[in-house]
Amino acid sequence: MRTAAIIPAAGRGERLGPGVPKALRELGGAPLLVHAVRAVDRARSVDLVVVAAPPDDPAAVERLLADYEWIGEVLVVAGGLDRQQSVARALVSLPEDVDVVLVHDAARPLAPPELVDAVAATIRRGAAACVPVVPLADTVKVVADDQVVRTLDRSSLRAVQTPQGFRRGVLAAAHAAFQQALAAGGLPEVPPVTDDAGMVERQGVPVVAVPGSEEAFKVTRPLDLLTAEALLTRRRAAGAR
């Protein structure tokens, strides 16, 4: 089985503050996107990396990645107006011999290659879909109109990370069903889809959970960027590239 990793990087990420798109914010002298591409590129299981770039200038992302010799060959395609469109466009661009597809957030720049390989291996062993998860540290409450409705039992709750892994046909079918529902007049009254596994779940496909990594956290706010800088500094002090 050949494995491709898709990195949607067309969004702006407003919560990180004004300026360039989040994927292009610098971390340790290089954009977050460069680190994210490197994370999946270093994994032994990944044969191809596809970046869904901002649709107005994908060539700029091609030039950016070409400046880093330690990154292998990457296919850059024009992304869409949202994450779903970007992943769908990247899926269409994949060679026919790709069987396993990983989808990884550009905002998770320091995901360990071992985590990437673990997700891919789960799909290769027969799972249709796989997500890495970590336990929740905080108590979680349901709140409505500034009032606490109830407290959830966090023992069975998990935070989901990326990369998420899929059989190519499973992911393609989920995206096709999602677009058909939109074209038909909208989706049922259910929580919005925030990840690709959520789209697959709606099709009744079982999703396997594997242990995630504390280092695969998402850079969403300025404090997250400081945490990533500290982790990257520690890695470099230990001799990692």
Site of tokens 């002298």: 29
Gyration radius (Cα) of the chain, Å: 18
Expressed as residue numbers, the domain containing 162 is 2-237
What's the length of the chain? 241
**What is the predicted pLDDT for the residue at 150?**
96
Output the pTM of the full model: 0.92
Q: What is the CATH number of the domain that holds 218?
A: 3.90.550.10
pLDDT tens for each residue of 105-120: 999 999 999 999 999 9
**What is the predicted pLDDT for the residue at 189?**
52
For 21-82, the DSSP string reads -GGGSEETTEEHHHHHHHHHHTSTT--EEEEEE-TT-HHHHHHHHHT-TTS--EEEEE--SS
Q: Which residues of the chain have pLDDT under 70?
A: 11-20, 186-192, 241
H-helix or E-strand spanning residue 210: strand 208-211
Q: How many domains does the chain have?
A: 1
Whole-angstrom distance, CA of residue 177 vs CA of residue 145: 34
Q: Cα-flanking dihedrals φ and ψ of residue 233, to 5°?
A: -60, -40
Nearest 5°: the CA angle 163, 207, 50 is 30
Which one, of 169, 174, 163, lies nearest residue 218 by Cα?
Answer: 163
For 119-155, the DSSP string reads HHHHHHTT-SEEEEEEE--S--EEEETTEEEEE--GG
Nearest 5°: the CA angle 75, 80, 81 is 150
Percent of the chain with pLDDT over 70: 93
